[in-house]
Structure 1
Amino acid sequence: MRRLVTSRAASSSSNDAAEHISLYEGTVYHHRRHPIHHSFQYQVRYALIDLDRVSHAPPNHLSPDEARQITDTNGPILLLTIPLSVGYEQNPLSVYYCYDVEDSATRLKKCI
């Protein structure tokens, strides 16, 4: 994936949601050989959201506390998802990156 937009410069608030969301562009490839040969590809734009730094999780997604409870982690939670676009939802996959903090080191522990 290629990063499209980096975090914006700070505006009036250090908790401005735009500071904690990065946009990425990528391509989804699908190829099936059996029972019939079929393939396609399409461009996608993903949002990587720091769930601890936005006021609420996107609709129909876990909150950071829910993700921590499921994964038994204690650190930051990042969500990679395809955001709503002009009122339509096309999101075949959302990935939560769940980190643990131990002895001042932050490590990726689980992806769900």
Structure 2
Amino acid sequence: MSGSLLGNLTDLDATGALAVTLPDGRAGFLVRVHGRLHGYENRCPHRDTRLDVAPDTFLATGGELIQCAHHGALFLPESGECVAGPCQYESLAPLALAVDGEGGIHLARE
């Protein structure tokens, strides 16, 4: 893998999500929905704040959508597009990810 190690797939088992710190110090997060891994910068486009207030909690009840804990905006995990809330039609900033043979999650490029 060419990028920095962010975590392991097993780190997402408990909540389906994981807060990470990117190599440049920015906050990021990973989510697994329907077995697919997605990663985004942990920054809501509405108020430029983190999405989470509780550790590793990024998914709305039901685990289908990403939710901002501050104002309830909902985002599609596949694209990061806001589909409900004050930032509708804006998107989260995606992270390019790669998974190695042992389940390590890496940035695909830095």
User: Same fold per TM (> 0.5)?
Assistant: no
TM score, norm. by length of structure 1: 0.31
Q: Which has a greater percent of strand?
A: 1
TM score, norm. by length of structure 2: 0.31
Larger radius of gyration: 1
**Structure ranking higher on relative contact order (CA contacts 8 Å, 6+ apart):** 2
Q: Which has a greater percent of helix?
A: 1
